[in-house]
């Protein structure tokens, strides 16, 4: 294709108002993510315009399931990282800058997607530098690498159910593991196709040995000179050498597939897990569920075997039997019988293998989950009888695993027996048939030797397959477990951005006729009305289990009322983008410390939170001197849960994380009881200071906390009692 002239390339990039919408459509198409065009339009225009167009594009794209990684470098660096599944987007130069989407490479040129063109067009790097406003083609520029935030979405039950062939999946049922496996391999269809071509070639070259042996036997039988033998040897060496080279290339391609499978899963879970609905963990323990991640190594290992050896075995068997059929019609009948017997061993004798493999896997994770419980609650199992109970429960779960394992191995073992029996019968039958055909002069001696070698290869392949049958079942079970993670329900990703008001006192929050109750449980709130004006300091008390903490869940968008609605600065929470909402609202339930430095635990990757904000937050919670006295100060590494800190210190560190972002609404749940009276008083003075830029909602039954707040309410039996009372 001829490189377009500069004026032909430039005009589509300088699109006016809806350039973000068109750019998002092109990016979604490039990463093969299907989205409703109306949703793209709504999101593109719903995000509030910012002074930074990069942030505007990122915010819109993330709502649509894209991940943006900001990078800097030269055009050569661009060419190294761009890929069909990872396009680049950058700003063009000029008086009216727009967006450029670079979707791949075409030799020395880069493929640039024009916003009004259905296909990308290759342009030179010099022309691209001109359009980016770079005076030097080797100059540095900034771009986003764009990938699908949920690359394994096609493995989810909801996505598979859209396939007409899988439309019969009942509501509430998970997608079958085979369908998930096909969806996973479909993402790698390009490289899988390359592996298939290599496997066909290797399968054909595998027959070089029996064919050469056939010619060699006939040659020796007729007493021909040495020269043909040398030629046959050279041909054999060439064929086997070429097959070895193809196997090496095949291994390299499969290694790339394995790496991408791992990265897809890691990237998908990193995006998915923080966005899982809170209700998904009401009946399951999150860390135990995430153990399923380790099944990715089973998927990698067995998928690599399938592509490297499985395809080769299958094609070797098919090609070998096809060659055998050309020798004699009787051998064609032998082929048909052999195939039927092989299918009987794999399909009939293996019936139920997938289900028993999944049951075994569930039993395995039940044991692992219980062992985690022993470590997670060590003190509970140190009391009298606790250790014995732990051992007894472990024994029970271990017996259940062995029972499931026994049921599964019975199926695997009968397939192994079937394969070994097939090997003995097939080899014996071929020798008998071949010898008879030779005696009847319907088959040459060389053909008999070649046929025997072919059958030996075929049967050896089937035996090899029988050894890997259990791994195939493990693959099915592993894909099923990964599917459980992919099927975790996510929070909604659409909505309007919060409008940041200019009120320095904080946000206005309104609960309007809010009713809430857990499924199959009593109502915790009945038509609750509550208005918090900017700058209010509200404390809510109530007996245990009255639903006080749920108020914080509702205002943070973790749960939703059965009826009624909640407003933040006049906007219904149901209409807001949750990410934007949580930029304005911060909630602290107790210590939440992850593995990382003190600075990372407070800053949390927020660009608006700088070192000064971190230090100010630590000062407000009376932790600055404590952190400075640590060996590495703010760079001190903390383990998960921060065992080197007291509960009070870990709680205050979590509180510092919340206030460092200067939220408009700060909600805290019974955190002051974890501090000494003096420390709690110092923290309360900072939180309720008249200059603090937030509205405060505190859950506490402590009268000292109530003394710092301007309004006191009581939640019990679903009702907020005690009308607002302001201090003198």
CATH of the domain at 10: 3.90.70.10
Q: Do 196 and 217 lie in a common domain?
A: yes
pLDDT above 70: percentage of residues in the chain:
91
Distance CA(367)–CA(341), nearest Å, equals 39
Q: Residue 76, class by beta-carbon neighbours within 10 Å (0-12 exposed, 13-18 middle, 19+ buried)?
A: exposed
Domain-embedded: residue 568? yes
Looking at mean pLDDT, say which of 208-217, 432-441, 641-650 comes out highest: 641-650
pLDDT band of residue 717 (cuts 50, 70, 90) is confident
pLDDT (0 to 100) of residue 2 = 40
Give residue 34's domain range. Answer: 6-149
Q: Do 626 and 670 lie in a common domain?
A: yes
Q: Do 225 and 183 lie in a common domain?
A: yes
* Position 586 pLDDT exceeds 90: yes
Q: Do 413 and 550 lie in a common domain?
A: no
Please say which residue of 130, 149, 168 terminates a domain.
149
Q: Do 548 and 668 lie in a common domain?
A: yes
Domain-embedded: residue 31? yes
Q: Which residues does residue 540 pair with via DSSP β-bridges, in sequence order?
A: 699, 713
pLDDT band of residue 118 (cuts 50, 70, 90) is low
pLDDT (0 to 100) of residue 533 = 92
Query: How confident is the model over 258-280, as pLDDT tens digits?
Result: 888 888 888 888 888 888 888 88
Residue-averaged pLDDT of the chain:
83
* Position 406 pLDDT exceeds 90: yes
Q: Token digits for 354?
A: 């997938």
* Position 671 pLDDT exceeds 70: yes
* Position 185 pLDDT exceeds 50: yes
Domain-embedded: residue 504? no
Query: How confident is the model over 28-59, as pLDDT tens digits?
Result: 887 877 777 777 777 776 654 556 778 778 87
Distance CA(213)–CA(446), nearest Å, equals 7
Domain-embedded: residue 154? no
Domain-embedded: residue 694? yes
Q: How many helices (H) and strands (E) does the chain have?
A: 26, 18
pLDDT (0 to 100) of residue 115 = 60
Q: Which residues does residue 122 pair with via DSSP β-bridges, in sequence order?
A: 111
Distance CA(580)–CA(583), nearest Å, equals 5
Q: Do 19 and 82 lie in a common domain?
A: yes
Q: Do 193 and 126 lie in a common domain?
A: no
pLDDT band of residue 303 (cuts 50, 70, 90) is confident
Q: Which residue has the higher pLDDT, 337 or 63?
A: 337
Domain-embedded: residue 497? no
Please say which residue of 126, 149, 172 terminates a domain.
149
Q: Do 248 and 139 lie in a common domain?
A: no
Secondary structure (3-state) at 537: strand
Question: Where do we find the tokens 């009942």?
Answer: 170
Distance CA(497)–CA(270), nearest Å, equals 23
pLDDT (0 to 100) of residue 662 = 92
Domain-embedded: residue 495? no
pLDDT band of residue 161 (cuts 50, 70, 90) is confident
Please say which residue of 149, 181, 216 terminates a domain.
149
Number of separate domains in the chain: 3
Secondary structure (3-state) at 542: coil
Q: Do 479 and 554 lie in a common domain?
A: no
Q: For 352-365, what is the mean pLDDT?
A: 91
Q: Do 133 and 275 lie in a common domain?
A: no
pLDDT band of residue 728 (cuts 50, 70, 90) is very low
pLDDT (0 to 100) of residue 94 = 59
DSSP state of 519: T
Give the contacts of 474 (CB within 8 A, at least 6 positions apart): 298, 302, 357, 361
Categorise residue 535: left if φ over 0, alpha if ψ from -120 to 50, beta otherwise: left
Nearest-5° Cα angle at 171, 562 to 187:
110
Q: pTM to 2 decimals?
A: 0.79
Q: Do 531 and 567 lie in a common domain?
A: yes
CATH number at residue 260: 1.20.1560.10
CATH number at residue 634: 3.40.50.300
Measured CA distances, 447 to 433, 452, 541, 700 (Å) = 12, 8, 92, 90
Domain-embedded: residue 727? no
pLDDT band of residue 171 (cuts 50, 70, 90) is low
Q: Do 121 and 204 lie in a common domain?
A: no
pLDDT (0 to 100) of residue 114 = 64
- Type and span of the H or E element at 716: strand 711-716
Q: For 564-589, what is the mean pLDDT?
A: 89
Q: For 105-118, what is the mean pLDDT?
A: 73
* Position 723 pLDDT exceeds 50: no
* Position 719 pLDDT exceeds 80: yes
Q: For 124-130, what is the mean pLDDT?
A: 81
Distance CA(502)–CA(669), nearest Å, equals 27
Distance CA(418)–CA(345), nearest Å, equals 6
* Position 112 pLDDT exceeds 50: yes
């Amino acid at each position: 294709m001829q490189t377009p002239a500069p004026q032909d390339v430039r005009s589509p990039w300088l699109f006016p108002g809806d350039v973000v919408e068109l750019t998002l459509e092109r990016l979604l198409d490039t990463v093969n993510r299907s989205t409703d065009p109306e949703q793209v339009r709504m999101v593109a225009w719903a995000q509030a315009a910012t002074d930074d167009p990069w942030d505007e594009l990122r915010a819109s794209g993330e709502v649509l399931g894209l991940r943006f990684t900001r990078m800097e470098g030269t055009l050569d660096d661009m060419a190294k990282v761009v890929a069909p599944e990872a396009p680049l987007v950058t700003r063009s130069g000029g008086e009216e800058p727009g967006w450029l989407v670079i979707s791949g490479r075409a030799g020395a040129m880069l493929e640039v997607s024009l916003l009004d063109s259905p296909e990308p067009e290759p342009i030179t790097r010099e022309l691209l530098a001109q359009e980016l406003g770079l005076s030097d083609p080797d100059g540095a520029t900034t771009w986003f690498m764009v990938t699908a935030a949920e690359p394994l979405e096609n493995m989810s039950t909801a996505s598979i159910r859209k396939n007409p062939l899988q439309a019969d999946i009942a509501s509430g049922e998970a997608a079958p593991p085979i369908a998930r496996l096909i969806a996973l391999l479909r993402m790698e269809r390009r490289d899988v196709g390359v592996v298939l071509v290599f496997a066909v070639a290797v399968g054909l070259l595998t027959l070089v040995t029996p064919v050469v042996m056939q010619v060699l036997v006939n040659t020796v039988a007729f007493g021909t000179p040495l020269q043909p033998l040398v030629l046959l040897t050279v041909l054999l060496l060439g064929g086997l050498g070429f097959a070895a080279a193809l196997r090496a290339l095949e291994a390299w391609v499969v290694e790339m597939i394995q790496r991408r499978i791992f990265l897809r899963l890691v990237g998908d879970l990193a995006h998915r897990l923080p966005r899982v609905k809170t209700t998904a963990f009401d009946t399951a323990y999150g860390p135990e569920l995430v153990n399923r991640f380790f099944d990715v190594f089973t998927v990698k290992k067995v998928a690599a075997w399938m592509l490297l050896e499985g395809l080769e075995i299958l094609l070797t068997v098919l090609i070998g039997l096809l060659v055998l059929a050309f020798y004699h019609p009787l051998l064609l009948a032998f082929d048909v019988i052999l195939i039927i017997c092989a299918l009987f061993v794999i399909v009939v004798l293996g019936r139920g293998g997938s289900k028993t493999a999944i049951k075994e896997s569930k039993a395995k994770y039940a044991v692992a989950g219980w062992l985690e419980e022993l470590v997670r609650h060590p003190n509970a199992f140190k009391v009298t009888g606790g250790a014995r109970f732990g051992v007894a429960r472990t024994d029970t779960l271990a017996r259940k695993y062995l029972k499931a394992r026994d049921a599964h191995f019975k199926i695997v073992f009968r397939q192994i027996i079937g394969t070994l029996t097939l090997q003995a019968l097939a080899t014996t039958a071929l020798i008998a048939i071949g010898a008879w055909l030779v005696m009847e002069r319907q088959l040459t001696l060389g053909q008999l030797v070649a046929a025997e070698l072919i059958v030996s290869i075929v049967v050896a392949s089937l035996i090899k397959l029988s050894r890997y049958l259990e791994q195939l079942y493990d693959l099915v079970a592993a894909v099923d477990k990964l599917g459980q993670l992919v099927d975790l329900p996510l929070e909604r990703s659409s909505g309007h951005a919060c409008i940041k008001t200019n009120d320095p006192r904080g946000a206005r929050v309104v609960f309007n006729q809010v009713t809430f109750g857990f499924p199959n449980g009593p109502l915790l709130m009945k038509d609750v009305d509550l208005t918090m004006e900017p700058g209010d300091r509200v404390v809510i008390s109530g007996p245990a289990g009255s639903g006080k903490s749920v108020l914080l869940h509702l205002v943070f968008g973790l749960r939703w009322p059965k009826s009624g609605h909640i407003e933040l600065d006049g906007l219904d929470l149901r209409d807001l983008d949750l990410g934007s909402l949580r930029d304005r609202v911060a909630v602290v339930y107790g210590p939440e410390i992850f593995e990382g430095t003190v600075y990372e635990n407070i800053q949390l990757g927020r660009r608006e939170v700088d070192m000064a904000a971190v230090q100010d937050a630590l000062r407000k919670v009376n932790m600055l001197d404590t952190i400075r006295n640590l060996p590495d100060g703010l760079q001190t590494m903390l383990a998960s849960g921060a065992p080197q800190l007291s509960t009070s210190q870990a709680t205050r560190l979590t509180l510092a994380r919340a206030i460092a972002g200067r939220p408009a609404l700060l909600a805290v749940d019974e955190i002051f009881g974890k501090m000494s009276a003096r420390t709690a008083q110092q923290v309360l003075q900072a939180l309720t200071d008249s200059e603090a830029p937030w509205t405060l909602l505190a859950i506490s039954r402590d009268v000292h906390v109530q003394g710092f707040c301007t309004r006191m309410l009581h939640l019990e039996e679903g009702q907020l009692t005690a009308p607002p009372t302001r201090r003198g």
